[in-house]
Amino acid sequence: MAAAKYAFGIDLGGTTIKHGLFSADGELIEKWEIPTRSEENGKNVIPDIAASITAKLKEKKISTKDVIGIGIDVPGPVLENGIVNQCVNLGWGVTDVAAELSGLLDGIRVEACNDANAAALGEQWKGGGQGYQNAVMVTLGTGVGGGIILNGRILPGANGAGGEIGHIKVRDDEEDYCGCGKKGCLEQYTSANGITRMAHKYLDKTKKKTLLVNDDKLSSKKIFDAAKAGDEVSLAIIDDFGKTLGEALAGIAAVIDPEVFVIGGGVSKAGKIVLDVIQKYYKPAAFHACRNVVFKLAELGNDAGMYGAVKMVL
């Protein structure tokens, strides 16, 4: 029998499910999306994915024997054995996604992981972390996500919470609650929403001239754009962001000792200024042996999860 030639990477999100058909050597052949039908506790989600893959196999005249495997990431904690430990926005309880999907697809091998961890693996494999075996991915989006890759493998942790860096407590004077129910979490200051929240607080009390307008259209993008234009208030706001995140990453480096930090998510679209302000505070705070870790921007955007998912089976 000839070696299997294809693999699938599935990025299961709350609104869409991204599918990628890959060659055995990891080249993306085709990608497409289907909507996530999360109603009725998400009971259609796995059958929908199976039907989508079955249709693609038929269209491409690929036999299930020619499929090496399917990697799937989900927006919730996933244990080392691939069991999803509840997935709130899909309405799932404890779900063995790998076994269920495999059962609908002729027993094809299926591996599952958390979405942030998949994005980290994707970036380490084909994106900003390419060429490094030990990477920490930091996703600065609505919240702060993370993923840890050691020797080319995801660190899921005992409870599937490995890499949940957004909920490291960094301040003890916080009055607002984080989405996790605690106060003072990293993501309250360094996510896109967190940066904007802190900017509102700053603008409420400053009398300095600034390009920023303190209204509900304020965004992290506007703050970084104004900082690039030399706006002092914006520079002070992003300096505070850089200090909080840079010092937190120095703490992570002392535990994980990665070769590279890959910074992704919407905030990272501001580019080099983000890496510069993080490193400004990372370096003095870092243990001497890991002071020269490399900082890179993520490169795969919304496809990172799909790449990381398929990498689990290649």
Write out the residues near Zn ion by the rule CB under 5 A.
Answer: 167, 178, 180, 182, 185
Residue 169 or 291: the one with the smaller Cβ distance to Zn ion is 169
Residue with smaller CB distance to Zn ion, 180 or 213: 180
Cβ distance to Zn ion smaller for residue 32 or 177: 177
CB within 8 A of 201, min separation 6: which ones?
A: none
Of 46, 16, 21, the closest CA to residue 34 belongs to 16
CB 136 within 8 A of CB 262: yes
> Could you tell me the smallest distance in angstroms from the CB atom of residue 168 to Zn ion?
9
Q: Which two tokens stand for residue 207?
A: 């009398």
**Residue bearing tokens 């005249």:** 61
Q: Least distance in Å: CB of 202 to Zn ion?
A: 21
Q: What is the DSSP letter of 2?
A: P
CB of 61 to Zn ion, least distance (A): 48
User: Nearest approach, Cβ of 313 to Zn ion (angstroms)?
Assistant: 32
Residue number with CB closer to Zn ion (75 or 122): 75
DSSP of 214-254, one letter per residue?
A: -STT--HHHHHHHHHTT-HHHHHHHHHHHHHHHHHHHHHHH
CB of 276 to Zn ion, least distance (A): 26
Tokens matching residue 141:
């989006």
Specify the residue, 185 or 238, whose C-beta has the smaller distance to Zn ion.
Answer: 185
**Gap between the Cα atoms of 72 and 35, Å rounded:** 15
